[in-house]
Structure 1
Amino acid sequence: MRRIQAGSALSAFGLGFTVPYLYVYVAQVRDLGATTAGAVLAVFAMAALVALPFTGRVIDRRGPLPVLVGAAVLASAGAVSIGLAEGVPAVVASAALLGAGTAVMQPALATMLVWCTDATGRTRAFAMQFFLQNLGLGLGGLIGGQIVDKSRPESFTLLFGIEAVMFLVLAGIALTVRLPRPASLQQPQAARSGAKGGMRVLLGHKAMVQLCVLGFVLFFACYGQFESGLAAYGTEAAGIEPSTLGTALAANTAVIVLAQFVVLKFVERRKRSRMIAAVGLIWAVAWLLAGYAGLGSSSQAMATAAFISTYALFGLGEAMLAPTVAPMVADLAPESMVGQYNSAFALVKQLALALGPAIGGPMGAALHGPYIVTFVLFSLGITVLAIRLGRQLTPVQNQPYLAVSSRVVAQHRPAEQVEAAA
């Protein structure tokens, strides 16, 4: 578990080096223009959408380890080639490799965490992964910002080279891991039959379908707006300086890093559906603060503070989601289909991240009032969807701590009660 978490954090560190600067690199450093840069970002997302539908079946048939190693090597090749590419075809092809590799890593890592934990320890494992990945992304972006220089293309080549090395380090660490092998994968015929009916089984699983719908709304209303719609709204409606956007993102990361384990103690003994419903209410308040920042009726300092607080509240909600949503996907999955369930949820996330900027960006820039109202309603929709999902979950799926409590009670039954029961 420690090795998997360390490798995941290092790969996030590598991504943090390059992702914030990919647009600038393509459009300005390589002088390929804004249109090409937009196409590169679109290809980066589309490659994930193409690769993920096939990923889960391979994970369930072959295990997550070879999939993770292959994806890390693919992403490393993409990072190296994009750092050396100068023409449009080379940059676009490199972005496709990098996008596909990084996307496939997500369900592979998630499945490895599932194999290394039981239902009761899974909450903490996914919370730790989220904490370390955010810490890695934040540190990578901070250090990368000190290295990059638009007048020196070789500085960007160095960044992509460091990212490539981090992916190879992840692959090397993964190869040292000896995973416990679930009983379902020791029965090839059962695994093959589960894989063939995988999509049909998943679509017939009402709770999982509802969780995917909820996940789409979660990622669309939060992550899909960070660097597009909300940033455009802040600069256009609230008069936020571009440099303040970096401060707001830093506040988001700081809240996650500082609050994650405090929040975990509060969340892990409570119903997951209620915690997700609470996130919807917190994010509704965050969007209202963003609306206040754009009213223009307060001082610039107050508007800036409200806007930064929006990102901070998003961070609090993210810290509450980390130990609830991802472990729930694993707990809903049949043992022979964990990879397919994780891949399906990753695909839903990627769709939300692709559509979020496309819809939110223009709205945030031009339709200020409707933009805020729309995402306040989306946030309240999260609360409604979470409450409905809770009705589809078993008590242990909704509150894994019940399994711990029942075992503790069983272990401490007095001897005379045991004899009487016998």
Structure 2
Amino acid sequence: MGAALRRIQLGNALSAFGNGFTVPFLFIYVAQVRDLGASTAGVVLATFAVAALVVLPFTGRVIDRRGPLPVAIAGTVAAAVGSIGLGLASSEPAVIAAAGMLGAGIAVIQPALATMIVWCSTPATRSRAFATQFFLNNLGLGLGGLLGGLLVDTAHPSSFVRLFAIESAMFLVLGAAIATVRLPQVPKVEDAIPADKGARGGWRVLLADRAMVQLCVLGFVMFFACYGQFESGLSAFAVEVTRISPATLGVALAANTAVIVIAQFVVLKLVEGRRRSRVIALVGLIWTVAWVVAGASGLIHGSQAMATAAIISTYALFGLGEAMLSPTVAPLVADLAPGSRVGQYNSAFALVKQLALAVGPAVGGLMAGGGLYVAYIVMLIGCSLGITALALRMGRRLTPLQDNPLHAATAPATVPGPTPRAEADAGAPIAEPQRGSVTTAA
């Protein structure tokens, strides 16, 4: 990695570390420590998603017009203000307003950082850059959550103020780190800065890109079937049907993070150089197995140890799939985007993710509340198989560079000798490169 990319990754890791101090305890903080009730805590959690859905449709265009750096810095300031506001707020309106500020700031940071990583990498190095970001995010969240658990005390609200102050400080550290980044004067994506108003385009251009639309549909199903179920349907199934304790559920979540941290770069070695669409399709099959194992855990009677092991294995399999997606999906979004619309494509995919994270817990929670656990497992097995089918279908629309940039970059060039047909066409105009490919700067 170059110096700019190293600084971006370090700031992002510290931000995730600070975020880990508060994420596991937010519901308890609002409902019990501030004594605002479970309903207010639910509204606060929903506010994060609503704030993201409000700002993301406009974020991409601002990134493409102004550059990712000022947008990322503005996001870190907003997130820092929202975080410390949560720590100091004691009334329902103040808590909700602070949550909205924090949610909007984090939502803006994500596509801006992704665009900065794209600018500082090439198609051949992009998978490793995004895999490193995902690894550091999970490592930071895990360490932050561990230390936050040691510092927190529900009997003393001041301990939570301390946690939110740490999170706020880490967002400012992220802002300071990226403020000193010197982005390439010539970004490593073709035509990264629009030269005229007509080149800036809009949502119509993105919606006309069939490969990107298919990737967004695929992304919605992926986030719905995995991340959208961690804190709702899957947790309820594990506790109510498999009969594991909440403490054991924490162990399962830790197993998910441990698999990501331990296996990320081993997995990266295995998937680098392979077709991205095939890797995503394989993730769908792995998650199918995960949901089958989860369903089987509810059928195991007389051996609680086996049922518990099955649930922990489910979370571990999800972690393996996540480790395979991190060097695959985000770089694919960047490589599908025309150079002048990288920010908009990143923001659009982040918007799809937020929609899935809003719908997933709602559907999972409603089905769990109604006791529809068999239908719930069957639905998610179907979603996982759908991931495989959608990925294979999307792969037919990708160019070789988009689907396998490492192989395309290292493939030997063949220069055939002139043929009569070629000589006859010598005066014909040269075809333009296919839209959506990303090339390195000369």
Query: Which TM-score applies when normalising by structure 1?
Result: 0.94
C-alpha distance in 2 between matches for 1:106 and 1:226: 21
**Residue number in structure 1 paired with 2:217:** 213
Q: Quickly say closer, same or farther: Cα 1:323–1:187, change in 2 above 3 A.
A: closer
Identity of aligned residues (%): 67
Verify: 1:170 aligned to 2:174, yes or no.
yes
Which string of whole-angstrom CA distances, capped at 9 and with x for unpartnered residues, describes residues 123-171 of structure 1?
1000000000010111111111111111000000000000000000000
Corresponding letter in the other structure for 1:28? Q
**Residue number in structure 1 paired with 2:424:** none
Corresponding letter in the other structure for 1:166? M
- Matched-pair contact (CA < 8 Å) for 1:272–1:324: yes
Specify which of 292, 295, 307 is matched with residue 296 of structure 2: 292
Which string of whole-angstrom CA distances, capped at 9 and with x for unpartnered residues, describes residues 315-373 of structure 1?
00000000110000000000000000000000000000011100011223421111111
Secondary structure of residue in 1 paired with 2:21? helix
Give the CA RMSD over aligned residues: 1.3
Which string of whole-angstrom CA distances, capped at 9 and with x for unpartnered residues, describes residues 102-141 of structure 1?
1111100000000001101001000000000010111111
CA shift at 1:188, angstroms? Answer: 3.6
Bigger mean CA offset, 295-304 vs 120-129: 295-304
Bigger mean CA offset, 364-373 vs 100-109: 364-373
C-alpha distance in 2 between matches for 1:186 and 1:392: 26
Dislocated runs of 4+, deviation >3 Å: 181-188
**Structure 2: which 5+ runs fail to align?**
416-442
CA shift at 1:201, angstroms? Answer: 0.3
**Residue number in structure 2 paired with 1:418:** none
- Matched-pair contact (CA < 8 Å) for 1:61–1:185: no
**Residue number in structure 2 paired with 1:419:** none
Secondary structure of residue in 2 paired with 1:118? coil
CA shift at 1:401, angstroms? Answer: 1.5
Secondary structure of residue in 2 paired with 1:240? coil
Specify which of 169, 184, 190 is matched with residue 191 of structure 2: 184
Once the two structures are superposed, the pairs formed by residues 7-406 of structure 1 within 5 Å of their partners are: 7-181=11-185, 182=187, 184=191, 187-189=194-196, 192-195=197-200, 197-365=201-369, 366-406=371-411
- Matched-pair contact (CA < 8 Å) for 1:131–1:260: yes
**Structure 1: which 5+ runs fail to align?**
414-422
C-alpha distance in 2 between matches for 1:294 and 1:12: 34
Considering fraction of residues, name the structure with more helix. Answer: 1
C-alpha distance in 2 between matches for 1:298 and 1:54: 54
Corresponding letter in the other structure for 1:193? G
Query: Which TM-score applies when normalising by structure 2?
Result: 0.90
C-alpha distance in 2 between matches for 1:327 and 1:185: 15
- Matched-pair contact (CA < 8 Å) for 1:230–1:361: no
Secondary structure of residue in 1 paired with 2:22? helix
CA shift at 1:193, angstroms? Answer: 2.1
Corresponding letter in the other structure for 2:103? G
C-alpha distance in 1 between matches for 2:313 and 2:274: 26
- Matched-pair contact (CA < 8 Å) for 2:192–2:341: no
Q: Quickly say closer, same or farther: Cα 1:108–1:291, change in 2 above 3 A.
A: same
Which string of whole-angstrom CA distances, capped at 9 and with x for unpartnered residues, describes residues 34-89 of structure 1?
11111111111100000100100000000000000000000000001110000011
User: How many residues are paired up?
Assistant: 407
